[in-house]
Structure 1
Amino acid sequence: MYIPITPVPGEFAGRRALVTGGSRGVGAAVAQRLISGGATVVTSARSWNDETPKGSTFISADIRTAESARRLVDAALEALGGLDILVNNAGAARAHFGGIPDEEWEDSLAINFLSAVRVTNAALPALQQAGRASIVNISSGVAANPPAPMLHYGAAKAALASWSKGLAAQLAPIGVRVNTVTLGMVETPGGTELLQSVMEAMGGSTQHAYSAIPLGRVGDPRDVAEAVAFLVSERAQWIAGADLHANGGA
């Protein structure tokens, strides 16, 4: 059972953040955590829904192309006046049984990897100008051991993790910290449904998968939000290039 944590008041006061894939699930939890700490936040996704944090400015965007990523960043900078925090959370995990179509490989790379590259490239001048900026990229444990129906997703997330490591070394000298949070099993409507379909195809069950988590429970989106909040805070000011595994010890 997740134990709620009270954010430090004003911890992110004056900070401006963009959270992609921020309309629901993990992204919404991250955005809400930053808002609760005093940050001004823009969330983006293809569509708004009831989970989208009410305290954020929502911008509809499909960032699978360089042009759409640039337009999102331009709109976010107009709304925020600058940028201190970028959380690249946009992604889509889909399982394909009996073979992964070529177009699905391309789409998975576009949304799970290249979207982060393109948004970051567009946002970099503003992040550098901020002086003490932070980027957090959300990856997945599937990158290290992908099941056959999700090879395309695992490969895209592995690319994201590798790029993040190199980018951290590149940007640290200009005052932009880059870190990764790699997720285990987190309970979201879409994620739980996907896990169930994959486990059933492999002859298992979600409960069997959950029972293998050493800390005894599946993750809550707020668990991830706390990991992100730490990495973008001044408490982590000497951390760059890290890959924090939020997975209950799995």
Structure 2
Amino acid sequence: MRFDGTIVFVTGAASGMGLATAQAFAREGAVVYGADISADGLATDFAQLDGSRPLPLDIADSEAVRAAFAQVEAEHGRLDVLVNAAGVNAPSKAALDQLNEQNYQGFLAMKEGRPHTPEFLEHITDDDFDRVLKINLYGAFHTIRSAVPLLKRAGGGSIVNFSSSAALMGIAMPAYYPASKAALLGLTREAAAELAPFGIRVNALAPGAVDTPLFRQSDDEFIDFLVGMQPIKRTASPAEVARTVLFLAGDEGSYYTGQTFSPSGGLVMQ
């Protein structure tokens, strides 16, 4: 098995792409620490994995993150792979519902050939902007900062950060999401440059339409419209994205660092 005995830490491990990544590493023999804010979520599919170590954790809480990595250090003394899959696209259910409604109204307007001008910027509160950045950007920074000493102790390793295709395109949506995901790409490149002498590679994924529970909260007709914008006209499965993570974390990806891979069906082409 490719990752037999490897120590892996995955955030957002209770569902979606984080869970699929944890499952893929576990199948390849890794010991997988799965962090997620949902303790109940971790107690279902993730907890069934061989070698699973569930860690209920809010990555926006820097002290809680330090404590989680102290547990990894106490139990194994090192870390080989960090995957930052946790993230949110809205700070609350109300904000998410509003975003979905705006998206659907825009889709209807386009379908009917009439103009639609969404207005997001002037309605974003400080608290909403702060909350999304604390999870999507600060949370990744907290985990990277705590992981680096353990990765160095292992003699090298890999970090994979989940950004978004929204970070690479100009899309009208609440600014906190593309801003946080674009900032994460900057953090990825800086960490890649700083950590390369230690044998630590840092890369990012910028997925597009992936069939996750969060993505499926949108209206089916709107999802079909989004997928129709892509040259490959289907959603990706979380398992497909997980295979790219394993590539980047393993020997096959040993010459990649500071890169952004976009599994988006051709929506993003670079």
Give yes or no for the alignment of 1:216 onto 2:216: no
Cα distance in 1, alignment partners of residues 249 and 12 from structure 2 = 17
Alignment partner, residue 7 of structure 2: 16
- Relative to the length of structure 2, the TM-score reads 0.82
Instruction: Indicate how the Cα distance of structure 1 residues 73 and 146 shifts in structure 2: closer, same or farther if over 3 A, else same.
Output: farther
Give deviations 1:79-127, integer Å, cap 9, x for gaps.
4442100001111112455522210110111000111111111111110
Cα distance in 2, alignment partners of residues 81 and 131 from structure 1 = 12
Unaligned runs of 5+ in 2: 91-95, 100-119
Instruction: Indicate how the Cα distance of structure 1 residues 100 and 145 shifts in structure 2: closer, same or farther if over 3 A, else same.
Output: farther
Larger radius of gyration: 2
Cα distance in 1, alignment partners of residues 207 and 45 from structure 2 = 20
Give yes or no for the alignment of 1:60 onto 2:56: yes
Secondary structure of the 1:123 match is helix
Give yes or no for the alignment of 1:120 onto 2:111: no
- Percent identical pairs in the alignment equals 32
Q: Work out which of the residue numbers 75, 78, 89 in structure 1 matches 2:74.
A: 78
Cα distance in 2, alignment partners of residues 142 and 220 from structure 1 = 18
User: 1:17 touches 1:84 (CA, 8 Å); kept in 2?
Assistant: yes
1:146: how far off? 5.5
Q: Work out which of the residue numbers 155, 160, 165 in structure 2 matches 1:136.
A: 160
Instruction: Indicate how the Cα distance of structure 1 residues 146 and 62 shifts in structure 2: closer, same or farther if over 3 A, else same.
Output: farther
Q: Work out which of the residue numbers 244, 248, 251 in structure 2 matches 1:234.
A: 251
Range that drifts further, 167-176 or 72-81: 72-81
Between Structure 1 and Structure 2, how many residues are aligned? 234
Unaligned runs of 5+ in 1: 1-9
Alignment partner, residue 178 of structure 1: 202
Instruction: Indicate how the Cα distance of structure 1 residues 93 and 51 shifts in structure 2: closer, same or farther if over 3 A, else same.
Output: farther
Q: CA RMSD in A?
A: 1.7
User: 1:64 touches 1:111 (CA, 8 Å); kept in 2?
Assistant: yes
1:130: how far off? 0.7
1:249: how far off? 1.3
Range that drifts further, 167-176 or 98-107: 98-107
User: 1:25 touches 1:51 (CA, 8 Å); kept in 2?
Assistant: no
Range that drifts further, 142-151 or 43-52: 142-151
Alignment partner, residue 109 of structure 2: none
